[in-house]
Amino acid sequence: MTIDSPANQTTVVPKAMTEEPLVCTVLPTYNERDNIEPLIRGVLASAITSHLVLVVDDNSPDGTGDVVAAVAETLNSPEKTQVHLVRRVGEKGLTSAIQRGIDEAIHTHHAAIVTWMDCDLSMPPEDIPKLIRLIVDEGADLAVGSRWIPGGADIAHGTMARTLSWLINHFAMLLVGRQVHDYTSGFIAGRAAVFEQLRLHGDYGEYCIDLLGRAQRAGYRIREAPYVCVPRTAGDSKTGANLWDYLVKGRKYVATVWRLR
């Protein structure tokens, strides 16, 4: 069943839900048809507590939303909802998609913890429990998957991209704070109460720098867990196609760090 939602959006509503998820993983998608089903199944297979996957799809022309709807039909039951789909029509963008997912997770599904990650399988879903444990067992308010601490690595990108990422992150550490080593991670978990106070701002990856910078300033406890970023196996990268693309995005990252200093 579908219902109309604001801004000409359509939400796929599960037939029934008898329990509220403790953890909700938000997956913002655009043209990730070949990656989304294994990612959804990987997230659920790795879950260490009650878990809901919420996919926010920007009306992908490759049919990503249809794949998610089919997976939801297979995995959901009247007793338990595991997959929820939000189709956005007339609105696009990574940051706004994540924020829409956060809002749905907290206010519709009453999640206590919200996580999100890229949907190209570069971030291993089996590492989500590491982030959850930092919050549940060690008292963190936010948990960050980091490529730049011992045990982490980036083998997905070439030398140019890794060098630019290293420079931006060390620039952020110098000016914003050293609680975080991977300000451009995009692999995040946090308590719902944090996201009620700190909404996301920005067009692309700079939202992560902004969020982590403001969280430190507000006194929230931030912890990191290592992860290895691996190459995507299907679809096209949205990170950067060439040096110019990296420099355009990097300029926004640097401007965000400078504003937060």
**For residue range 141-150, what is the model confidence (pLDDT) as tens digits?**
999 999 999 9
**For residue range 202-248, what is the model confidence (pLDDT) as tens digits?**
988 899 999 999 999 999 999 999 999 999 887 666 555 555 566 66
Which residue range(s) make up the domain with 16? 2-260
Please report, for residues 20, 175, 233, the alpha-carbon distance to residue 72 in angstroms, rounded to integers and kept in the order given.
17, 44, 23
**For residue range 176-212, what is the model confidence (pLDDT) as tens digits?**
999 999 999 999 999 999 999 999 999 888 999 999 9
> What pTM, to 2 d.p., does this model score?
0.87
**For residue range 63-84, what is the model confidence (pLDDT) as tens digits?**
999 999 999 999 999 988 899 9
What are the CB-based long-range contacts (under 8 Å, 24+) for 72-81? 72/12, 72/14, 75/40, 75/44, 76/14, 76/15, 78/15, 78/16, 78/18, 79/16, 79/18, 80/17, 80/18, 80/19, 81/14, 81/16, 81/17, 81/52
CA–CA dist 68, 88 (Å, integer): 14
Q: How many domains does the chain have?
A: 1
Amino acid in position 16: A
User: Which domain CATH number covers 158?
Assistant: 3.90.550.10
State the average pLDDT for the chain. Answer: 89
